[in-house]
């Protein structure tokens, strides 16, 4: 059955659907040797689709992993400065998987990896507003004004406006923070805008997934139930 090329490319785990559209615009995609354009379709079973001359993999095994990223690892596939990468920690999974969003080098916790370009695209899309829950230790104490400012939608020190977020003080210098977007250094900058300096940050939940007691530095495959929830096939 014919499908749009960007969908076929994303499903092969090359990149997101939007990035595949860009590949098509750049003329880097061919179908059975003929140059393809945005809007073209192909049959993934019978047509040979290439990107930069490389045929798409026929292996359609989808891999979904959760990693408990430790501090000191960057969220990239490779690092030109030779720093340790989160990708190293999932390299044993036997597939080329990509991180879903990112965690700062100094942050820890739940980081998803997949070769399912469609799902990746959906989870990082700002429109989906997937909830991410963080545990933070910080200098300074969160008070009722801070909670209200988070709930109203903070303006960061550089003028960036954030969506409403939930700030829940847990004890002296400890809070739980729930955000629905993924701006650069978002939680650290939100806290800084209220004069609190984050000294430790861990992501404990993303959408329907929770980190649980996964040991730091270890990946695990998602269960079928977790994948179904992510794909929106089941209600949490
Ligand atoms: N917010 C941050 O400041 N850092 C992260 O790694 C994630 C969210």
Per-residue pLDDT at 233: 58
For the annotated catalytic residues, the residue numbers are: 104
15 vs 227, higher pLDDT:
227
What is this structure's pTM?
Answer: 0.78
Terminal CA-to-CA distance of the chain, rounded, Å? Answer: 32
| Rounded distance from Cα 201 to ligand 1 centre (Å) | 7
- Average pLDDT of the residues in 167-189: 96
Question: 229 falls in which pLDDT band (50, 70, 90)?
Answer: confident
Q: Is the pLDDT of residue 18 over 90?
A: no
Determine the residue of 106, 188, 189 to mutate for testing ligand 1's pocket, defined as the one with the most ligand atoms within 8 A of the Cβ atom. 188
Q: What are the residues facing 74 on neighbouring strands?
A: 85
What element of type H or E holds 9?
helix 5-11
* CB-count burial class (<10 Å; 0-12, 13-18, 19+) for 236: exposed
What count of other Cβ atoms lies within 10 Å of the Cβ of residue 132? 23
State pLDDT tens for residues 19-41. Answer: 899 999 999 999 999 999 999 99
């Amino acid at each position: 059955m014919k499908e749009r090329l960007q969908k076929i490319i994303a499903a092969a785990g090359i990149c997101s659907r939007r990035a595949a559209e860009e590949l098509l615009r750049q003329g880097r995609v061919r179908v059975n040797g003929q140059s393809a354009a945005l809007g073209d379709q192909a049959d993934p079973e019978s047509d040979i689709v290439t990107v930069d001359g490389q045929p798409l993999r026929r292996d359609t095994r989808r891999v979904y992993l959760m990693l408990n990223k430790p501090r000191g690892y960057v969220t990239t596939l490779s690092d030109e400065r030779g720093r340790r990468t989160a990708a190293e920690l999932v390299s044993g999974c036997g597939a080329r998987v990509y991180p879903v969003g990112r965690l700062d080098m100094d942050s820890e916790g739940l980081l998803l990896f997949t070769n399912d370009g469609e799902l990746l695209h959906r989870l990082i899309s700002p429109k989906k507003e997937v909830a991410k829950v963080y545990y933070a230790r910080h200098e300074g104490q969160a008070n009722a004004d801070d909670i209200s400012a988070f709930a109203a939608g903070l303006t960061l020190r550089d003028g960036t406006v954030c969506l409403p977020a939930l700030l829940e003080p847990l004890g002296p210098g400890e809070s739980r923070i729930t955000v629905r977007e993924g701006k650069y250094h978002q939680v650290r900058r939100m806290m800084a805008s209220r004069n609190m300096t984050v000294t430790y940050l861990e992501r404990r939940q993303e959408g329907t997934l929770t980190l649980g007691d996964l040991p730091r530095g270890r990946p695990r495959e998602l269960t079928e139930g977790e994948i179904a929830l992510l794909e929106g096939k089941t209600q949490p």
